[in-house]
Amino acid sequence: MLKDGSRILNLVLIVVAFNWTNPNARLPSFSSTYLIGERILLSWLALNQSRNDLWLTRYNVSTDDFALRIASDLDISNAGSFAWVIAVSDNEVLADTRFEFQFVPAGSYYNATAPTELASPAFNVMLVNQATSPNGSVAATTA
């Protein structure tokens, strides 16, 4: 059972998560699967009145504390978007295919132990020729 403070935090996270339009927060986590090298357009509605850095982070921080800053000093007080080519190593994907995007105050470093406030829905990143996920969560193929 969650403590009252945890329950409140979880409710806030759900509300904030709906501001992501790609990955689509109206769909369950892991509804999106991307390939290394694929160009994606991340997008969100206004999140809060601040400037933030955008990080790619591991969904399961118990796997490791992988984090990659992919954009700096974004104004998230208005709806916005950011085009990004998925640039993670094969080894990172083989360790765990599950990732999420997170906004962190501009100039700060991602802290895996800090509460998550502005995270996207979780998604998978796959190798171009990977038929199934090493963690067994999805299957993806290329045409």
pTM over 0.75: yes
DSSP letter (8 states) at residue 10 = H
Q: What's the average model confidence in pLDDT over 12-30?
A: 75
Distance CA 16, CA 26 (A): 12
Of 19, 7, 8, give the one whose Cα is nearest residue 118.
19
How many whole angstroms separate alpha carbon 48 and alpha carbon 56?
19
Residue 135's pLDDT is: 53
pLDDT computed for residue 117 by the predictor? 75
Task: Report which residue type is found at 24.
Answer: N
pLDDT higher for 19 or 13? 19
Domains of the chain with bracketed CATH: 4-126 (2.60.40.2840)
pLDDT tens profile 44-103: 998 888 899 999 999 988 778 899 999 999 999 999 999 999 999 999 999 999 999 999
Name the token pair of 110: 């991602």
Quickly state the pLDDT bin for 43 (edges 50, 70, 90).
very high
E-assigned strand segments in 5-138:
20-22, 33-35, 39-44, 51-58, 67-75, 80-85, 98-105, 123-126
- Assess whether pLDDT exceeds 70 at residue 41: yes
Please tell me the distance from the alpha carbon of residue 115 to that of residue 28, in angstroms, as a whole number: 21
